[in-house]
A and B are shown apart, each in its own frame.
Chain A
Amino acid sequence: MEARMRAITRVGTGQPARLIRLMGMVSFAFLAVGIFLWAFGKNPVRAYGEIFQGALGSTYGLTELLVKMTPFILCASATALPARIGLINVGAEGQLHTGALIATWGALTFGDLPRGILLPFLVILGFAGGAIWGSFSGALRTMVGLNETISTLLLNYVAVLLVEHYVHGPWKDPASFNWPFTAEFTEAARLPTFGSSRVHFGLVFALTAVVVLYLVLRKTRWGYEMRVIGDNAEAARRAGIPIGRYIVLTMFIGGGLAGLAGMAEVSAIQGRLRPGISTGFGYTGFLVSWLASHHPIGIVIMAFLLGVLALGGDMIQINLGLPYSTVNIIMALIFFIVLGSGQLKKMGA
């Protein structure tokens, strides 16, 4: 009864109201961290000033922000799509790594192909690498009932170690003086960047993914059927909605999006596969998705916010001598406050 009353009182608050509340909570997190900074003798206004200045105060900062946002958005989409049917995919990090791995295989093997053929091929390989990794967890869930949260989490370690294996072993560049990375990609295998910045074509993938996701969830039968599954799987089953197929499919597409992020990282940013291609993009993406209640537009907004924080973390390290973990603390605090306020339960569009 009480649950029902709560549900009633929550209904009818539109998206704008939710956004304002969310922003209020984010500000609260900043305030709380500010008090700590102040207590430790640091000027919080200056620290935040540095953070925002760093990300938004120059063209360089802005382009770097877009570079950071790209994998955040893709990994958040990888979390959001399965979340719509009630799955918790914490495996974007692993799916990103397998995407990067398979794309690297393509780049190393077919590096001599003309660019017009090679690049689309690498995009497909990157997507497939993540998609296979994701749908593996989906299939395990459907066929043997293995919880996808556990399997995606554990497969993250496997994926990272697979990358380590290949860069330390079979794919190690003989000319690298024993450094663990592959040979550099040929020019044809490099994803184009915009102008002289590091902003790359992956951003187009990310924004396209968000728009398509929005349209699919909003307008199509798949979006409708997914919302039914997410809301009441038993009713969905009885209405003839193929739940198993949706589980595998959302994990396939979600994993594929994370795989694209991995492909873009190696092809556009690094130019080769090496350990540490991701500084926890998959996990930050997870955070972004949950903060945005898995809403596509919210994902862009939250990716922007966390992108600013991530960039600013570098700035306060350099300029104020504060550790990078200050930023992690802010992120964690935002997450806890939002989690505690019950905002996250409202997953509906």
Chain B
Amino acid sequence: MERIPYLRLENITKTFPGVLANYSINLSIEKSEVHAILGENGAGKSTLMKILYGFYRPDTGNIYLDGTPVDIRSPLEASRLGIGMVFQNFMLIPAFSVVENIALALPKLNVLFKRSEMEERMAVVADRYGLSVDPRARVWQLSVGEKQRVEIVKLLLSGARMLIFDEPTSVLAPHEIEGLFQIFKNLTNDGYTILFITHKLREVMACADRVTVLRRGSVVGTVLRSDTTEQELAYMMLGEQSLHLDRSTKKPPEGRSKTVLELKGVEVSDDRGGLGLKEVSFSISSGEIVGVAGVSGNGQKELGEVVLGLRRCRAGSVLLHGNDATQWSVARILGEGVACMPEDPLVMGVAPGMTAQENMILTDRMNYFRHGGLFIDWKAVRAEVERRVENFGLPIPNLDTPVIALSGGNVQRLVFVREVARRPSLLIAYYPTRGLDLAATKMANDLLLACREAGIAVLLISEDLEELFSLSDRLIVMHRGEVVGSFKPEETDRLEVGLLMTGSKAP
């Protein structure tokens, strides 16, 4: 007799107006396996998972759980069936403590809420699977990796048997990723099933048992990890296109190099009142990419904010083009040609309810003020925005669409293009390729190199060591708000940098 898979999808099709998101998907997931769903952005991975989680209902097709057909009408229904989902954007309440957030998700919560009992239950799960988090910390105080662990604990305690992870590694540091994969292993050993959505080949090879590849809404195939290679998966995922993705190449920058930004012994507070940056000193010249390696939450945020004038120095000074800019206002610093692509473009970089066009001029709006700012020359804005969309190949069909209607990847690109197009002298780029697929990543990398050629000084903040090594002219490593290493990429290797950024090696 044939074995019944734990979860089986049969002929699932889902369309949105004008888009065929999933077409006739067949998929079987075994109990206690790590099953990766691999595909480029827009391949239909997220839609499929949202169907499983009851957000969307398929147009046609059936879902079987343990051989019985199920109808997943809502996320509540999904969680009753033991299906839990860890989203890219965590569903946690920042002002609440960890234990309160977890209690909130439990199906049966007593009227009287015993904190100590909850903490014990948390501790049991945490010890067993390596998910330790301080139960009394407020969620806003946690790092991204910790928040993710809270989400997992929450699902486990609320009785999930299958966990869906939507691009879980895009927000994590390298060592946190390894930790997550270890957690996967611990969970599957205990009979949990993991569904892991990603577009990163290396991660699939590192943790999956089986891989299903999606392309343009359809299943290309399901293979055993042990039977395949990265090349084969890349070919399945990208088709013909994969042949054109070679590495970006560096060319020397134009003009003579001058120091653009210099930090001298800068110290700032972090949000919790502690020391965010400790005696940070370095400089960047025009046409140079300085990469900042580090686990997020080790001063990268504060570094960008102090340069932009959003955070004041406790000690030390910031020099822009040789002038002391320590006390300058944000507007003045932006006016001096500093541009920033923030960590979270949707939250920090755009007004989501306003149109793509209006958002495109947010940081260089002064150029379109007429009569001392009495009016904005919208005609000139239109022409300039159209030029940018054309030149940078932005896939924005209608400039009058509000930004919230664009996909996350396109918002990221819009902000990136906006900051580059105003020809800054210094570009601070946070995680410019985070969450982007291979093709878009290549474009973003090429754009950074084009900035370098044009003589722009680039401060590249990333957790992707491969990206840092291939793009940077100089690398600095941050740990706990301090610069613990400064090298040329060819003078060091990933192991040394990895150890420095996790504090496992003294500088």
Q: A interface vs B, CB < 8 Å?
A: 1-2, 4, 7-8, 11, 219-222, 224-225, 227-228, 231-232, 234-242, 348
Residue in B closest to A233 when the chains form the complex, CB atoms? B351
- Identify which of A7, A231, A238 gathers the most chain B CB atoms within 10 Å of its CB: A238
Residue of A nearest to B374 (CB): A220
Instruction: Given the known inter-chain contacts A4-B404, A11-B402, A238-B308, please indicate yes or no for A219 contacting B350, CB distance below 8 A.
Output: no
Given the interface pairs A232-B352, A236-B351, A239-B363, the reply to whether A11 lies near B405 with Cβ below 8 Å is: yes
CA distance A219 to B368 in the complex (A): 12
Q: A224-B358, A238-B330 are in contact. List 13 more A-B contacts (CB 8 A).
A: A11-B405, A220-B374, A221-B373, A224-B365, A235-B349, A238-B308, A238-B348, A238-B349, A239-B362, A240-B334, A240-B335, A242-B329, A348-B353
Closest to A231 in B: B351
- Write the residues of chain B forming the contact surface with A, with a CB cutoff of 8 angstroms: 50, 55, 308, 310, 329-335, 340, 342, 347-354, 358, 362-363, 365, 369, 373-376, 401-402, 404-405
Contacts of B351 in A (CB 8 A): 227-228, 231-232, 235-236
Asked whether A221 lies within 8 Å of B342 as measured between CB atoms, the reply is: no
| B349 in contact with A1 (CB, 8 Å) | no
Q: Give every chain A residue within 8 A of B333 (Cβ-Cβ).
A: 240
In the bound complex, do residue A235 and residue B350 qualify as a contact, i.e. CB atoms below 8 Å apart?
Answer: yes
In contact, B373 and A220 (Cβ under 8 angstroms): yes
Cα–Cα distance between A8 and B406 once the two chains are bound (Å): 9
| Residue from A222, A234, A236 whose CB has the most chain B CB atoms within 10 Å | A234
Question: Which residues from chain B contact A232 at a C-beta distance below 8 Å?
Answer: 347, 350-353
**Chain B residue, CB-CB nearest to A222:** B373
Question: Cβ of A234: which chain B residues have Cβ within 8 Å of it?
Answer: 347-348
Residue among B350, B351, B363, B376 with max Cβ neighbours from chain A (10 Å)? B351
**Residues from chain B with Cβ under 8 Å of A2 in the complex:** 55
- CB nearest neighbor in B for A6: B404
Across the A-B interface, the 6 shortest Cβ-Cβ residue pairs = A240-B331, A231-B351, A240-B330, A221-B373, A231-B353, A232-B351
Q: Are B376 and A221 in contact (CB under 8 A)?
A: yes
Residues of B within 8 A of A219 (CB): 374-376
Q: Which listed residue, B342, B353, B369, B405, touches A238 by the CB 8 Å rule?
A: B342
Chain B residues with Cβ under 8 A from A348's Cβ? 353-354
CA distance A153 to B342 in the complex (A): 37
The docked-state distance in angstroms from the alpha carbon of A221 to that of B352 is 18
A selection of 16 A-B contacts at a CB cut-off of 8 Å is: A1-B50, A7-B404, A8-B404, A11-B405, A220-B375, A220-B376, A221-B369, A227-B354, A232-B352, A234-B347, A234-B348, A235-B362, A239-B362, A239-B365, A240-B330, A348-B353
Bound-state CA distance A8–B358 (Å) is: 17
A228 to B55 Cα, complex, angstroms: 31
Q: Please name all residues of chain B whose beta carbon is closer than 8 Å to the beta carbon of A241 when the two chains form the complex.
A: 331
How far is the CB of B459 from the nearest CB of chain A, in Å? 16
Residues from chain A with a CB closer than 8 A to the CB of B55 are: 1-2
Which partner residue on chain B sits nearest A225 by CB separation? B365
Given the contacts A11-B402, A231-B352, A224 and B330 also touching, CB distance less than 8 Å: no
What's the nearest-Cβ distance from chain A to residue B392, in Å? 20
* B329 lies within 8 A of A7 (CB): no
Complex CA–CA separation, A38 to B404 (angstroms): 47
Whether A235 and B348, one on each chain, are in contact in the complex, defined by CB atoms closer than 8 angstroms, is yes
- CA–CA, A222 and B373, complex, Å: 8
Taking CB as reference atom, which chain A residue is nearest B375?
A219
Closest to B347 in A: A234
Tell me the bound Cα distance from A231 to B353 in angstroms: 6
Given known contacts A231-B353, A237-B330, A240-B334, is B376 in contact with A224 (CB within 8 Å)? yes
Bound complex: CA A242 to CA B334 (Å): 13
**B286 vs chain A, min Cβ distance (A):** 23
- Closest residue of chain B to A9 (Cβ to Cβ) is B405
Which residues of chain A come closer than 8 Å to B401, judged between CB atoms?
Answer: 11
The chain A residue sitting closest to B401, CB to CB, is A11
**Closest-CB distance, B241 to chain A (whole angstroms):** 28
Please give the distance in Å from B422's CB to the nearest CB on chain A: 12
Residues of B within 8 A of A242 (CB): 329, 331
